Structure 1
Amino acid sequence: MRVKIGFIMAVVLLLGSITVIQAQNNTPVGVWQTIGDQGENKGKVTSHIRIYEASNGTLVGTIIQPISNPDGKCHADCPGRLANQPLKGLTIMWGFKHAGGNVWEGGSIVDPEDGTVYSCKLTVEGNKLQVRGFVGISLIGRTQTWVRLQ
């Protein structure tokens, strides 16, 4: 009888651990490798972005390692204090709220190459993050696929 109870408890703990691991991977929080989808950087790793939860509960993303342009700066047309700032340490995404399941919405992302700010939606698919930037409605925009590093 004791063996059965011990076995059942071990199975319950194992299943609980698997659920926690899956839940952690179902969030954009972590470090992501960005892959260029246009021009000379198409298909190349361009940066590493850390996404974290801000004090107000929304998600924020910061460039921790600019790879394609390590000494680069945000374009002069970037909004406010972002203009002409070094890419390393630059906050390029903000305001994301969990919309349910594996989706975060209501955020914004800036393209540091031209200063354009887009509305943005994040969708986690395993170790990939679909980053959908758009102006107005989501149908008019483009999606980048980022790969989880951590």
Structure 2
Amino acid sequence: MKESALSLLLAAAGVSAFAQATPEGLWRSIDDDTNKPKAEIRIVANGSGVLTGKVEKALIESKEPLCTACTDERKDKPKLGMEIIRGAKKAASEAVWEGGNILDPENGKTYALKMTPIEDGKKLQIRGYIGPFYRTQIWQRIE
């Protein structure tokens, strides 16, 4: 009886640790200029494992609440509630999600995306690429 209870506890701990090692969840982005929390973004997977992320809460009041710089169907739409991550999928060989894109609603630019959970899933490295150039942010998981 003790062995099966211990096995169940260890299995549950493993599932919990695995769940935290994914980009799915609620994240706090940090402003590049002020280093202060900027927004909360919720990342979810659809039925086929493709990730999307939406701005759930603004933590810094934006000078412009609409994405006036966007060039696609998000143009002039509210940044709050906006889908900024699209199409990311888990890479076959590593704990990395890529292949999608991320929108910076402040400048309207869309970047190729690579997301890597770090520090046991407590943080998420977000890297946006345009050609050989990239910008990296570290987001913090909200428990």
Q: Same fold (TM over 0.5)?
A: yes
- Which one-letter code corresponds to 2:56 in the other structure? I
Corresponding residue of 2:5: 10
Cα-to-partner distance string for 1:11-57 (whole Å, 9 max, x where unaligned): 1111101111011101111110000113xxx2111100000013453
The percentage of counterpart residues that share the same residue type is 36
Runs of 4+ with deviation above 2 angstroms: 54-57
Bigger Cα Rg: 1
Q: Output aligned runs, 1:14-33, within 5 Å.
A: 14-33=9-28
Say whether 1:121 aligns with 2:114. yes
Gap runs ≥5 in structure 1: 1-5
Cα-to-partner distance string for 1:77-99 (whole Å, 9 max, x where unaligned): 31321111111110011000011
Say whether 1:87 aligns with 2:79. yes
Separation in 1 of the partners of 2:75 and 2:48? 24
Gap runs ≥5 in structure 2: none
Separation in 2 of the partners of 1:97 and 1:115? 23
Cα-to-partner distance string for 1:92-140 (whole Å, 9 max, x where unaligned): 1100001144210101011111111100100001210000011123xx2
Q: Pick one of 40, 50, 61 that aligns with 2:53.
A: 61
CA RMSD of aligned residues (A): 1.5
Corresponding residue of 2:98: 105
Separation in 1 of the partners of 2:47 and 2:56? 19
Corresponding residue of 1:3: none
Say whether 1:78 aligns with 2:70. yes
Separation in 2 of the partners of 1:102 and 1:65? 27
Separation in 1 of the partners of 2:71 and 2:139? 24
Deviates more, 1:53-62 or 1:18-27: 53-62
Q: Is the 8 A contact 2:69 2:106 kept in 1?
A: no
Report the TM-score, using the length of structure 2 for normalisation. 0.90
Report the TM-score, using the length of structure 1 for normalisation. 0.86
Change in Cα spacing, 1:55 to 1:11, as seen in structure 2 (3 Å) is closer
- Which one-letter code corresponds to 1:129 in the other structure? L
- Which one-letter code corresponds to 2:43 in the other structure? I
